[in-house]
Amino acid sequence: MKTAKEIYSQLASPTEADRELVVKAYNFATKAHSEHTRYSGEPYMEHLTSVALDLAKMGMGPRTIAAGLLHDTIEDTPVTAEDIKNEFGDEILFLVEGVTKLSSVRYYGSDRHNESLRKLFVATSQDIRVLIIKLTDRLHNMQTLDHVPAEKQKRIATETLEIYVPVAYRLGMGRIRKELEDLAFPYVYPKEYKRVCDLLEAKAKKANILLEKERKYLQKKLVDSKLTNFNTAYRVKGLYSLYQKLKRRDWDIDNIYDLMAMRVVVSSVEECYRALGIIHDIWRPLPRRVKDYIAFPKPNGYKSIHTTVTTTHGNILEIQIRTEQMHHEAEYGVASHIIYKQQSLDEEPSSSWFNRLLPNLFRPFAKRSSGSEDLKVTKDIPPSEKIPRWIRQIGEMYTTEHSTGDEFISDMQEDFFANRIFVFTPIGDVVDLPLGATPIDFAYAIHSEVGDHIAGVKVNKKLVQLDTTLQNGDIVEIDTKKTAKPTHKWLDIAKTSVARRKIKSYLNTSTK
């Protein structure tokens, strides 16, 4: 199990207060979970320290790391929200509660709801750090999925592919996305997994030897051309993304050009283009395979130059050229922007799609009042509401229509998200409603029998009035009684036309 020291040692330049906070959360979690083991039989802290260490390695700050250590306390132990607030303050409580709330977002196997589930997931998290903790939590749960009872494995793995992977993709977190995909793949599609493995096996054995040979050759050529500060690496394509591509290419593995890829990481954008020149000079590029994602980044912020070449040894190889910063962003996405705070950030939050898509994403919690005793703790996020440059560029790309036909774009265009809220039933089903909707709208969205007999309403377990405005992420419970029935006043309260129509029809039939 990792020690508190191993975790805080990952912080770039931790203050005394930073270290103390991590140690305090570590000890608090150890005590809270002392009775508690994982399916593997290991102490529960194994999970919490893995999550915290991953967060620290990603470059997250001390509060996020502390919240990572505490993320299961409220849900799984007698510790209350009040306890966390008293010990760690509002901000950490907010993060822990955010992660706890996300646990109720469940995949129920209906494709129709996937997109709204993903949106709900993002909306409910409110602060980007909550999503990052949750993704890291899921990563460790997937890494240890073989210890989980078999009947649960498939549901968890499917949920990972349907909800967590697209969210990681959208946030540009390439490393976590790839790992989640490859961990979930064998559980969700065992037959297909086997087929991909068999196809790859023959190729992969030779591939590593070949790739190492090509890498050395390229390295020498780059040095000869006076490029000195760079590094090269290679990889064989992830199994799940290979599967996705094989399905589109009639399972012909020879038709997949990025099966093997080499990455060249250099110091500047200018060197990216120089490296491209050198590569095209030594190896023949395939036509129409050069993609300049530096000039035109992908909608999720991804930047690199891609080219596919035939090497001297006759291998087809995709080469990805990028700067160190681009590499870091490709691996950690949004998380890297929380760290790269010294980078130029756009001063003016634009009204880009990104704000609409993730309305609360860049509303740092730090803006709310925080206790002054906290001030020595390094801020996890930039202090003011700033939008990273790449996000602004995506906004520009979208408006100037440089975009390709990526399905992603159409997703962003709808402002659906800005005008809808997502609320839960007590068992975690999702109901989406227009902004301003009330429990009456909710009840009729469930079923007209429920709507016609509302006797009382609880929101987040508290009794409320019928005209309460529902908020994103609320858990709504309707009590019904046979004798309860709609009144004329309900017509003023209901916001959806469905509810109003049904109320009117009830009132008409009952007065006749």
Nearer to Mn ion, 63 or 502 (CB): 63
Near Mn ion in 401-460, by CB under 5 A: none
- The closest of 286, 187, 276 to 240, measured between CA atoms, is 187
Bridge partners of 480, per DSSP, are 454
Nearer to Mn ion, 137 or 441 (CB): 137
Q: Are 77 and 86 in contact (CB under 8 A)?
A: no
Nearer to Mn ion, 37 or 312 (CB): 37
Bridge partners of 434, per DSSP, are 420
Shortest Å distance, C-beta 70 to Mn ion: 10
Shortest Å distance, C-beta 77 to Mn ion: 12
User: How far, in Å, CA of 84 to CA of 97, rounded?
Assistant: 10
512 Cβ contact list (under 8 Å, min separation 6): none
Nearer to Mn ion, 80 or 505 (CB): 80
Nearer to Mn ion, 124 or 308 (CB): 124
Instruction: Choose one: 134-142, 165-173, 467-475, 476-484; the region binding Mn ion (CB under 5 A).
Output: 134-142
Nearer to Mn ion, 72 or 318 (CB): 72
User: How far, in Å, CA of 60 to CA of 44, rounded?
Assistant: 22
| Chain mean position to CA 340 | 18
| Residue 159 near Mn ion by CB under 5 A | no
- The closest of 348, 347, 340 to 301, measured between CA atoms, is 340
Q: Token digits for 352?
A: 């880009």
SS3 37: strand
User: How far, in Å, CA of 440 to CA of 467, rounded?
Assistant: 8
| Residues identified as active-site | 75-76
User: How far, in Å, CA of 397 to CA of 377, rounded?
Assistant: 38
Near Mn ion in 197-236, by CB under 5 A: none
User: How far, in Å, CA of 176 to CA of 500, rounded?
Assistant: 45
Nearer to Mn ion, 72 or 477 (CB): 72
Q: Are 25 and 84 in contact (CB under 8 A)?
A: no
Instruction: Choose one: 71-79, 119-127, 227-235, 407-415; the region binding Mn ion (CB under 5 A).
Output: 71-79
Shortest Å distance, C-beta 76 to Mn ion: 8
For tokens 């130059």, the residue is 305
Nearer to Mn ion, 7 or 377 (CB): 7
Shortest Å distance, C-beta 103 to Mn ion: 8
Nearer to Mn ion, 163 or 262 (CB): 163
For tokens 């939008």, the residue is 387
Shortest Å distance, C-beta 47 to Mn ion: 6
Residue of closest CB approach to Mn ion: 137
Q: Are 104 and 424 in contact (CB under 8 A)?
A: yes
Q: Are 354 and 395 in contact (CB under 8 A)?
A: yes
Furthest-apart CA atoms within the chain: distance in Å:
93
The continuous run of DSSP H or E covering 221 comes out as helix 190-224
Instruction: Choose one: 66-74, 85-93, 240-248, 334-342; the region binding Mn ion (CB under 5 A).
Output: 66-74
Instruction: Choose one: 23-31, 132-140, 206-214, 486-494; the region binding Mn ion (CB under 5 A).
Output: 132-140
| Residue 72 near Mn ion by CB under 5 A | yes
| Residue 137 near Mn ion by CB under 5 A | yes
Q: Token digits for 31?
A: 């005590």
- The DSSP code sequence of 247-294 is HHTTT-GGG-TTSEEEEEEESSHHHHHHHHHHHHHHSEEPTT--EETT
Shortest Å distance, C-beta 44 to Mn ion: 9
Shortest Å distance, C-beta 100 to Mn ion: 10
| Residue 477 near Mn ion by CB under 5 A | no
- Interface with Mn ion: number of residues (CB under 5 A): 2
Shortest Å distance, C-beta 172 to Mn ion: 23
| Residue 54 near Mn ion by CB under 5 A | no
Instruction: Choose one: 110-118, 130-138, 463-471, 498-506; the region binding Mn ion (CB under 5 A).
Output: 130-138
Crossing angle of helices 174-188 and 128-143, rounded to 10°: 40
Instruction: Choose one: 70-78, 159-167, 174-182, 229-237; the region binding Mn ion (CB under 5 A).
Output: 70-78
- The closest of 266, 183, 258, 170 to 226, measured between CA atoms, is 266
365 Cβ contact list (under 8 Å, min separation 6): 91, 94, 95, 127, 129, 381
Instruction: Choose one: 129-137, 170-178, 222-230, 329-337; the region binding Mn ion (CB under 5 A).
Output: 129-137
User: How far, in Å, CA of 440 to CA of 451, rounded?
Assistant: 6
Shortest Å distance, C-beta 164 to Mn ion: 13
Q: Give the residues lining the site for Mn ion (CB under 5 A).
A: 72, 137
